[in-house]
Structure 1
Amino acid sequence: MNTLPTTEEQNQQHHQNDFNFDHFMLEDFSFEPVPQPKQPLQETKEPKNKQVLPSSLASLELLSHYGSRFKRVEKQNISHSVETCVSTPQKLSTEEIIRLAGARYIQHSTQWHDDVCMPMHPYGFGFGILSEEENRDVELAQFLLAAAERVGCQQFERASVLLFHLQWNPSGGGGSPVQRVVFHFAQALLERIKRETGGGKVAVNKSENNNEERELIGNLISDTKKAVICHQKIPFNQVMQFAGVQAIVEQVAFQTKIHLINLDIGCGVECTTLMQALAERNERQVELLKITAIGLKGKTELEKTGKRLVNFAESLNLPFLYKVVYVTNIIEIKVEQFDIEDNEAVAVYCPIILRTMVSDSDSLEHLMRVIRKIRPTIMIVLELEANHNSPSFVNRFIEALFFYAAFFDCIETCMKEDYECRVTIEGILSEGIRSIVAMEDGERKVRNVKIDVWRRFFARYRMVETTFSESSLYQANLVAKRFACGDFCTVGKNGKCLIVGWKGTPIHSISAWKFL
């Protein structure tokens, strides 16, 4: 691992901190505004007589927001797109199927006004390019889009009729990735209908006592075998991990006492990578590496992680200290709990945890104030690069559909031989879908926002984004290519941060920050 120290110019621009936090949260932790349709769909009751709905380009605004993905829907362009995709051994990706379904739905939206079934073979152009399964998948996605539009219009009976056509679809474990995505979104729509109508009319194949997303992730981490398989097969975590660790190593290159604060340590895999990199330093050997984990729950698992890290440090002959700061709520965290010494170089690692606090402004603001008082040498932030926070239900649905379509495609590609692990991960993704589609307002505890929103938020604390070095970018790309499916994992840049995606669809962002 290349750990040569690098230098970079310090950005001395000071950011203003003169606006209300609650106002900021409402404006910035929400979807970017889209043009309002000329004929907004505001129907709240089922009409006595069936009426032709306005075009989906008006009601499904986000389909047009995707720009080039949907603008070229003429016969020759769609035909060329499909021919290009199927001329290679690779089948159409899950997102491409959804994209074709969206183009089809936009073109023929008026034919759905009576909730009639569309032709079995998409496009009606008379070419048999798609396989029978792909044709069926496109049709399923069209029914899903039509149902979502009607749910957005509060036309719940019509939506239920459309969702009835999806009930044959296999449960989360079987079928193509498109069928599984459609299944989970359809179940979430059914739950939303049940909530909106007061229950009883719509049967939901989902336990009311299902664990939340974070708890499911915790269960996966506690199953070491599954966690290791997922880490070894899915490239995202390792790509971000190596890029982030490289950035930390470069920032502490001249320090001998290093303190890593990990806000969500899990199995601590990124910690072992950091330990190995520090142990390999030829100059300025490390006198002490301290790792402090934040413990909200799961004391046993945190202790197991600590034991593994202690044993690994001993095998490297690396001076090491592990500590857990146990709190019941983020609001209880205090600077004094970290026992920071004057001669320590502190790094903060935030692995996909801040999104869980977006809906809890007090906790998020408190955490950032504590981190600012600590003034770490560097803060690494990993987050989902997605916007699932729109006040418009249909917009939120479409954003989530494309994001999760890409994620399910990744799981299918990377874990074909690991059925149990795939089902476990898709169960976690399903809970995220349920939160986005079936719930509203305070019920949604996890909010995903993109890097531009985080930049505006961090600016309040006079945080300056730093560029990842060429070495960090090299590490990220090198790790991605080591995976069997690595050619599909993309690593790009958005300003100074890195964007990790799947077949061009952004999935994660990783950014590095300093405090002025």
Structure 2
Amino acid sequence: MAPYSSEFPQNDPLSYQVKAKKQVHENVQPPFEILNKYRSQMKRLRSGKFHEIEKSDELSSVFSALSIIRMAKLKSNYSHHKGDFLSTLPNSSHQFDSALAHKHTAEHLKRSLCLLDAADKFFNRKYDQAEKSINAVLSEYSHADDHPVDRVIACFARDLRERIDIENGKIDLERELVHVDVEQELVDLKSAIHENEQKLPFSQITHFTAIQTILDSLASAEKIHFIDIGKKLGSHWIIIMHALANRKNIRIEQLKITVVCTLKDDVEETGDLLSSFAESMNLPFVFKILHSEMNELKKDEFELENGETVAVFLEFCLTSLSFCPKNIEALIQGIKNLNPRVMVVSEVEANTSGSAFIDRFDEAIIICSAMFDCLEDCLERDNKCRVIIEKIYFQEIIKNGVLSEVEEGFKRCRKIDFWREYFARFGIVETELSQASMYQASLLIRESCRWKLCSLSMNGKCMLLGWNGIPLRSLSAWKFSE
């Protein structure tokens, strides 16, 4: 990771905002005022009562999935490369002894050690021994406790067993294969997932920060064309409309939102609702749906008008196309042809592109442990969307960690340092996220007692959002050089 910004120190990532807060209140921009009002509305949405999350006892809440996996790795001497997260674990020997003294946590450690042993044996091509360890993990798995570490172990064990079967040339006819239509379940549970996104920090903070940065970049624009690429629920579009409808200094002549999506994505109803909302606020508004693959963008299909200022928002698009570098090149070139004022990019902050299985597995299990801990703290265990959310957001990371290097079609996650170098080839220059947006992000984190482990840090000009110190998502802003 690159050095942290001097304005956003690693040890106290929010301290610089004392200065930011003063500047914001001395010269409040209208969009920021709107976002503050909208933030209050979102706070009320989150203020509903939560069901108590059942814990087996106090210790099970102390030992998170991340801490258990870390302790297991330390005990098994599993780490095979430098820079491992174990260096950040204080008093690990004492914690390990304390964990063993507790029945359920000791069982979690036992299963974690068994999984790591299977991964190590697989890495050393001892497939029969790895299979025995995996079978032991799965035979002892129980939903009775359903601690987040159990969910992590079960996901990795099932995929690792599939990898072992591939290597051994086995076809397990007795194993039931469950095919889940994630996209259909996403549609069926759209309203519930939308509600849950108010309880999870990453989407909400990312969208607020991205939109504030876009609004700041378009502060003097009268005709705005916002191009949104990637699967989203669309709640963040309302924030833009609120801000522009209440802009005081410069009248907005037109806001056009173009959504780039596939035929499977159902956004027509959302467009109708947004149009009604714009009409109630006397906001000149155009909503356009462009059914196109991300790597097949054509400038004339966007119907750009004279005087329009274009802004582009990409979310998880680079990862989606990463199995074919030519598709990413086509996407970037298509965006460049639109001549946007700013491009904001949100991506998974992980590296599952390593050539060695053990490196990918190590990265994936740490990332997923932190993510499952986040769900544990923010959502109820019986939440009907939790499994779907886990599958939507994390399945690719798990698959990338354990499936074969020669498997085609699996997406590779990359960290911001990689994308920074990649964009430089196209003359794309990173720009600062606005100070107001960074201040807004910190306020959102402080509002929720359940988000206390959400971490905010900087890698150069890029903001990293994480959980319990593990970066999970990046947000960055870019401009195309002339």
The runs of 5 or more residues in structure 2 that have no matched partner are: 1-23, 33-56, 81-92
2:337 corresponds, among 373, 390, 393, to 373
The answer to whether the 8 Å contact 1:231/1:238 transfers is: yes
**Pair 1:139-2:103 in alignment:** no
The runs of 5 or more residues in structure 1 that have no matched partner are: 7-85, 110-121
1:163 corresponds, among 121, 134, 156, to 134
The residue correspondences of 1:384-399 to structure 2 (distance < 5 A) are 384-399=348-363
Tell me which residue corresponds to 1:305. 270
Instruction: State the alpha-carbon separation in 1 of the partners of residues 78 and 125 from structure 2.
Output: 23
Tell me which residue corresponds to 2:469. 504
Deviations 1:279-316 (A, max 9, x none): 121111211100011122325x1212212221222233
The residue correspondences of 1:21-60 to structure 2 (distance < 5 A) are none
The answer to whether the 8 Å contact 2:71/2:96 transfers is: no
1:87 Cα offset (Å):
10
Instruction: State the alpha-carbon separation in 1 of the partners of residues 116 and 59 from structure 2.
Output: 28
Tell me which residue corresponds to 1:73. none
Tell me which residue corresponds to 1:410. 374
1:438 Cα offset (Å):
2.4
2:458 corresponds, among 493, 497, 501, to 493
Instruction: State the alpha-carbon separation in 1 of the partners of residues 225 and 286 from structure 2.
Output: 9
Tell me which residue corresponds to 2:242. 276
1:206 Cα offset (Å):
3.6
1:419 Cα offset (Å):
2.1
Instruction: State the alpha-carbon separation in 1 of the partners of residues 407 and 300 from structure 2.
Output: 32
Tell me which residue corresponds to 2:121. 150
The answer to whether the 8 Å contact 1:172/1:184 transfers is: no
The answer to whether the 8 Å contact 1:384/1:507 transfers is: yes
Tell me which residue corresponds to 2:227. 261
The root-mean-square deviation of aligned C-alpha atoms, in Å, is 2.8
Instruction: State the alpha-carbon separation in 2 of the partners of residues 173 and 515 from structure 1.
Output: 53
Q: Which moved more, 1:318-327 or 1:88-97?
A: 88-97
The residue correspondences of 1:76-155 to structure 2 (distance < 5 A) are 91-106=62-77, 130-155=101-126
**Pair 1:360-2:324 in alignment:** yes
Instruction: State the alpha-carbon separation in 1 of the partners of residues 353 and 102 from structure 2.
Output: 35
The answer to whether the 8 Å contact 2:297/2:335 transfers is: no
Instruction: State the alpha-carbon separation in 1 of the partners of residues 462 and 145 from structure 2.
Output: 37
The residue correspondences of 1:431-510 to structure 2 (distance < 5 A) are 431-432=395-396, 433-510=398-475
**Counterpart code for 2:472:** I
Deviations 1:420-476 (A, max 9, x none): 121221233563213431243343432100000000111111111011122110111
TM-score of the superposed pair, with normalisation by structure 2: 0.80
1:107 Cα offset (Å):
8.2
Q: Structure 1 residues 174, 440: closer, same or farther in 2, change over 3 A?
A: farther
Deviations 1:203-243 (A, max 9, x none): 64543x444xxxx2563255222222221111100011110
What fraction of aligned residue pairs are identical, expressed as a percent? 33
**Counterpart code for 2:132:** V
Tell me which residue corresponds to 2:259. 293
The answer to whether the 8 Å contact 1:313/1:319 transfers is: yes
Instruction: State the alpha-carbon separation in 2 of the partners of residues 297 and 481 from structure 1.
Output: 39
The answer to whether the 8 Å contact 2:100/2:106 transfers is: no
1:174 Cα offset (Å):
5.9
**Pair 1:226-2:197 in alignment:** no
1:264 Cα offset (Å):
1.6
The answer to whether the 8 Å contact 1:173/1:423 transfers is: no
1:250 Cα offset (Å):
0.4
**Pair 1:348-2:301 in alignment:** no
1:481 Cα offset (Å):
2.1
The answer to whether the 8 Å contact 1:194/1:202 transfers is: no
Deviations 1:112-164 (A, max 9, x none): xxxxxxxxxx9998667752211111111111111011112221110111112
The answer to whether the 8 Å contact 2:73/2:79 transfers is: no
**Pair 1:238-2:209 in alignment:** no
> Counterpart of 1:260 in 2: which secondary structure?
strand
> Counterpart of 1:167 in 2: which secondary structure?
helix
The answer to whether the 8 Å contact 1:242/1:476 transfers is: yes
Instruction: State the alpha-carbon separation in 2 of the partners of residues 227 and 128 from structure 1.
Output: 34
Q: Structure 1 residues 438, 129: closer, same or farther in 2, change over 3 A?
A: closer
Instruction: State the alpha-carbon separation in 2 of the partners of residues 305 and 372 from structure 1.
Output: 28
1:342 Cα offset (Å):
2.8
**Counterpart code for 2:378:** C
**Counterpart code for 2:135:** F
1:4 Cα offset (Å):
5.7
